[in-house]
Amino acid sequence: MSSIGKLMKQAARIQRQMEDVQNQLASKTVEATSGGGVVKVVAKCDGAVASIKIDPQAVNPADTQLLEDMILTAVNSALSQAKEISNAEMGKVTSGLNIPGLT
């Protein structure tokens, strides 16, 4: 088989593997908290936020800025963790890719 044929087969295999990993990542979740657990965020490893839980005692109408900051911190932390997992899983699929001229 020609080297271009081998490359095409390898690319098709990697594409299938990447699709499988993406499906797995959509069901995998991470959790992050802020404010000592007052705000809890669950994010999917495909980059979507699945849920946000807020302890009702943390809701102070006079200080919404603090609550907003805690939510932002927890969301960013959860998404960062999710991205790390996603990058690691996708890296496993593409690590064996050997494209002439790029290695």
pLDDT digits (tens, 9 = 90+) for 43-61: 999 889 999 999 998 888 8
| Domain 3-94 class in CATH | alpha beta
Would you say how long the chain is, in residues?
103
What is the average pLDDT value for the chain, to the nearest integer? 86
Residues 6+ apart with CB under 8 A from 82: 29, 30, 43, 44, 45, 46, 47
What are the structure tokens assigned to 37, written together? 């657990």
What are the structure tokens assigned to 15, written together? 């594409």
Looking at residue 100, what is its pLDDT?
Answer: 54
Spatial separation of the C-alpha atoms in residues 12 and 84, rounded to whole Å: 25
User: Can you list the residues of the chain whose pLDDT is less than 70?
Assistant: 1, 96-103
Specify the pTM: 0.71
CA-based nearest residue to 30, from 40, 38, 42, 19:
42
